[in-house]
């Protein structure tokens, strides 16, 4: 079961770090609540979003980027297997 907790957010952030993405929480008027800069692998998320909205933004981004499982920790691989069905339907 997938839970929207600060721990889950931390695990998602770690997954993106292992994929060499930088996540920033900053002030901005992003229509979707986040901005993804593909060329630089930078994700900017509105810092005023609650935990659940931050997780949903990262899940949306995860569904739109290519994931290479090489170099990912067991924790990240486990999380990825858990959420792939969620992102596949998003």
DSSP sequence for 53-77: HHHHHHHHHHHHS----TT--HHHH
Residue 87 confidence (pLDDT) above 70? no
Give domain status of residue 84, yes or no.
yes
Residue 1 confidence (pLDDT) above 90? no
pLDDT tens-digit profile of 23-60? 999 987 777 888 888 889 999 999 999 999 999 999 99
Give domain status of residue 1, yes or no.
no
Q: Which domain holds residue 12?
A: 6-89
* CATH code, domain carrying 78: 3.30.2010
Predicted pLDDT of residue 15: 96
Establish how many alpha carbons lie within 13 A of residue 35's alpha carbon, considering only the half-sphere containing its beta carbon: 14
Share of residues in the chain with pLDDT > 70 (%): 92
């Amino acid at each position: 079961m997938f839970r929207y907790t600060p721990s889950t957010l931390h695990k998602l952030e770690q997954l993106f770090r292992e994929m060499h993405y930088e996540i920033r929480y900053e002030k901005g008027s992003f229509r979707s609540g986040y901005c993804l800069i593909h060329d630089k692998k930078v994700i900017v998320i509105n810092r005023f979003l609650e935990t659940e909205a931050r997780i949903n933004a990262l899940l949306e981004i995860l569904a739109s980027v290519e994931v290479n499982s090489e170099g990912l920790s067991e924790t990240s691989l486990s999380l990825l297997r858990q959420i792939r069905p969620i992102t596949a339907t998003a």
